[in-house]
Every structure is written in structure tokens, then in C-alpha cells.
């Protein structure tokens, strides 16, 4: 960011100039109200997702929902093999007592006093309320790892993201190097061609790319997701603009020292272009991790699903198991949150300077 703190202060001082002394102008009130509302609206849904993902299936269907994940307290009572759920029960004489439920028959449940396990008490079910405590249903996270293909999806997503990003970085930086360092016949034509392909999103060529992928025998393999999007015009453009700023003297000096062109690319230009390469790497990771429509088309077998396609398949099932879906959504979200937490500056300046996403 080019602006200095002093500049900012003077703009800010003006824009936030207050009428009258010490009195808040309506714009100040509006600003902070907007920001608070913004935090709630932007963070709230994600917080709600995370809280919900720790609820048991019973807790999830509850209406109105509880804020925190709760689980019913249960006790082991002498004479019963399984732990029994504990209820706060209103007895006939109006007193309240913590009783454990043995079984429920229709609208009556048989309760037992944990301190006096000998006798059972019959209570109408509307006279009792479950006693609950804060409990994280971590099985929502553990079960899918064992029971479904979820680990497979996770692995597929990691493979796709890693390989695709490596291929993208390699071929895009090579092309950018070729376009920025050399004067050669057809350079402008190729540059125009690269800018031209910028304009063609995958949504316009779904069917023919599917045909190409089929011809290459890649349907239902991860390569079908990795390869078609690997040559990104945005990447070439971004890297080329950056490489153009590298002083020519460095390259000439390397040539004098008898470095091969490949060595100049790899040992001189690439290290200097690292900031731009890092931006492209972050973008590529985000694109690939989040990609949906194309994988949805070329991956039709559950073993090759990526996380996004897998999640969509789960939520489309007739009997939607929300407790698993929510947990898996949180897992899908974690890498993105990590990338954002550590590399926020890269991303925001990258977007602000290139105008791409």
C-alpha cells in the first residue's frame, strides 16, 4: 500500500469531521452500527455452523435450537446394565426430583431414583424435563472419517490442489519467462492470445472440454480436474508483469557467466519473482480447493469425488445426515481459514493490485 499514515489521517480527519464539539455526527453512529452489524452478519453464520457441527443428531432436530451443543446427562444405576438418561421430574405432590428413565411406554415413562434403585415410579412424560450439560458431539467428526469415503474425498482434494498448483506454477512461470525476457517473432501475437483466453471461462466450453477429457481417457480420474485448468491466463499475465520489472543486467550477467537459459529462469528470475509466484500459488490453491462445477461434471464415481462434490452429494441424499454434513463442512473450511489467517496480506494486496480472484 502506497499511502502513508499521514495521508490516511488527513482524509479520515476530513471525512469523519464532526459537527459541533465532541458531539457524534450521525455518520459516526452509522459507521459503528454498520461495522457491528457487519461482524454479526459475516461471522455469525460461520460461528453457528461450528456450534451446530458439535451437536448430536437429537440436538440438531430440536426446535427452537439451543445455542450451545448440549447432551443429556446419564447415570449408571445399580441393577441396570446401560447408563440411564437423567430427567428433572415433577412428582404428583409437586416436588421436583432428579430421576433416571428406565423405559418409556406411550405417554408414561418408568423412572427410577438413582439413590433408591429398588422401586420404579410411573410419570407422565410431560412432567419431566431432560437434564443436559454442555457436550461436544465429536463423533460427528470421527464417524465420517471411518464410515464414509470422507477421508477419500479429503485426500482427493489435497492431491488435486497440490498437483494442479505445481503444474500451474511450472507452466505459467515458464510461459511468463518466455514472454518477458526474450524478444522473438510472434511475441505480441502470443500475448494477445493469452489475453484472449482470459475471456473464455470454463462455463462456455463445458461440453467440448468434456469431449477432450473423454478422448484422453481421463473421465473419473483426478487428472480430468487437474489438467484442464492448469494453464491460467491470469497466472501468465500476473507473472509476466512482475518479471518485466526484473533488471535486464542481471540476466546479461548470468549469460556472461555461461549460465544456461534454464538456469537463468530457475536460479535468477524465479527467486526474484517469488512474491508474484506466491500470490499465484495462493490463488491456485484457493481455486482448486473450492472448484465445483467442473469436478461435478467429470467425476461421477464416489471414489474420485473431491470434498466439494462429496459434500454436495451428501446434502442431496434423501435422508440428509446434517450432523455429518456440518462437521465435514467445517473440515472443508479449515484449510481456507488457515491460509487466510497466515497469508491475508498477500491475498488482499494481490487482489487489490491485479483485480482478479
Partner 1 sequence: MTPGDAPTLSDRLTAAAAWPVRVLFQILDKPFRLIQRIGGIKTMPYIFLLPNLAFFGLFVVIPLFINFAFSLTGGTNLYLTDRVYTGTEQYAFLFDCGNYADPTSCREDRFWRGIYNTATFIFFQVTFLVLFSLITALILNRKIRARGFFRAVFFFPVLLSPVVVALIWKWILLRDGILNAALVSMGFDKILFFVSPEWSMFWAIFVSIWANMGFYTLILLAGLQAIPPDLYEAAEMDGTSTERVFRRITLPLLWPNMLVVIVLALIKGVQIFDEVYVLTGGGPGTATQFIVQYIYNTGFTNQVQNFGLASAASVVLGVVLFVLTMMQLAATRRRDNG
Backbone angles phi, psi at 75, to 5 degrees: -130, 155
Tell which residue, 323, 286, 292, 327, has the closest CA to residue 307: 292
List the one residue from 164, 179, 226, 251 that touches partner 1 (CB under 8 A). Answer: 179
CB of 96 to partner 1, least distance (A): 26
Q: Report the distance separating Cα 231 and Cα 222, nearest Å.
A: 16
Helix, strand, coil shares, percent, the chain, to 5? 60, 10, 25
> Among residues 35 and 142, whose Cβ is nearest to partner 1?
35
Q: Identify whether the C-beta of residue 254 lies closer than 8 Å to the C-beta of residue 264.
A: yes
Which of 135, 116, 110, 122 has its CA nearest to residue 55?
A: 135
Interaction of residue 7 with partner 1, rule CB under 8 A? yes
Q: Which of 182, 250, 302, 303 binds partner 1 (CB under 8 A)?
A: 182
Among 29, 35, 125, 145, binds partner 1 (CB under 8 A): 35
Per-position b or e across 92-111, b if 16+ CB within 10 A of its CB: eeeeeebbbbbeeeeeebeb
Question: Judged by CB under 8 A, does residue 233 bind partner 1?
Answer: yes
Q: Which of residues 311-350 bind partner 1 (CB under 8 A)?
A: 311-312, 315-316, 322, 325-326, 329, 332-333, 336-337, 339-340, 342-344, 346-348
| Spatial contact of 112 and 84, defined as CB atoms under 8 Å apart | yes
Stretch of residues binding partner 1 (CB under 8 A), selected from 95-103, 140-148, 243-251, 292-300:
292-300
Among 254, 290, 299, 323, binds partner 1 (CB under 8 A): 290
Q: Of the two residues 48 and 134, which places its CB atom closer to partner 1 in the complex?
A: 48
Contact between 254 and 263 under an 8 Å Cβ cutoff? The reply is yes
Q: What is the footprint of partner 1 within residues 249-288 (CB under 8 A)?
A: 260-263, 265-266, 270, 274, 278, 281, 286
What residues numbered 116-145 form the site for partner 1, per CB under 8 A? none
Q: Least CB distance from residue 146 to partner 1, whole Å? A: 22
Amino acid at each position: 500500500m502506497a499511502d502513508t499514515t499521514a495521508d490516511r489521517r488527513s482524509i479520515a480527519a476530513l471525512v469523519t469531521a464532526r459537527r459541533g464539539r465532541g458531539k457524534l455526527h450521525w455518520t459516526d453512529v452509522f459507521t459503528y452500527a454498520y461495522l457491528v452489524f457487519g461482524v454479526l452478519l459475516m461471522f455469525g453464520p460461520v460461528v453457528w455452523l461450528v456450534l451446530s457441527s458439535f451437536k448430536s443428531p437429537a440436538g440438531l432436530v430440536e426446535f427452537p435450537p439451543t445455542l450451545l451443543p448440549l447432551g443429556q446427562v446419564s447415570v449408571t444405576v445399580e441393577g441396570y446394565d446401560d447408563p440411564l438418561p437423567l430427567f428433572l421430574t415433577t412428582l404428583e405432590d409437586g416436588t421436583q426430583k432428579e430421576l433416571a428413565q428406565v423405559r418409556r411406554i406411550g405417554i408414561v415413562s418408568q423412572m427410577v431414583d438413582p439413590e433408591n434403585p429398588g422401586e420404579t415410579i410411573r410419570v407422565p412424560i410431560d412432567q419431566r424435563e431432560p437434564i443436559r450439560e454442555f457436550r461436544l458431539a465429536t463423533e460427528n467428526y470421527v464417524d465420517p472419517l471411518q464410515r464414509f469415503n470422507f477421508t477419500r474425498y479429503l485426500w482427493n482434494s489435497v492431491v488435486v490442489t497440490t498437483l494442479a498448483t505445481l503444474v500451474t506454477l511450472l507452466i505459467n512461470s515458464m510461459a511468463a519467462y518466455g514472454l518477458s525476457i526474450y524478444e522473438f517473432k510472434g511475441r505480441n501475437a502470443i500475448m494477445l492470445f493469452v489475453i484472449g483466453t482470459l475471456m473464455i471461462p470454463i462455463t462456455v466450453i463445458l461440453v467440448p472440454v468434456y469431449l477432450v477429457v473423454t478422448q484422453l481417457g481421463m473421465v473419473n480420474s483426478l487428472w480430468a480436474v487437474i489438467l484442464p485448468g492448469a494453464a491460467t491466463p491470469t497466472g501468465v499475465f500476473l507473472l509476466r508483469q512482475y518479471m518485466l520489472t526484473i533488471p535486464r543486467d542481471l540476466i546479461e550477467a548470468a549469460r556472461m557467466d555461461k549460465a544456461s537459459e534454464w538456469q537463468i529462469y530457475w536460479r535468477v528470475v524465479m527467486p526474484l519473482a517469488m512474491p508474484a509466484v506466491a500470490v499465484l500459488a495462493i490463488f491456485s490453491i484457493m481455486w482448486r480447493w473450492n472448484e465445483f462445477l467442473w469436478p461435478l461434471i467429470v467425476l461421477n464415481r464416489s471414489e474420485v469425488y473431491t470434498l466439494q462434490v462429496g459434500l454436495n452429494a451428501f446434502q442431496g441424499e434423501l435422508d440428509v445426515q446434517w450432523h455429518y454434513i456440518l462437521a465435514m463442512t467445517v473440515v472443508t473450511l479449515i484449510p481456507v481459514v488457515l491460509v487466510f489467517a497466515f497469508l491475508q496480506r498477500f491475498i488482499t494486496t494481490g487482489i487489490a493490485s491485479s483485480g482478479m480472484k
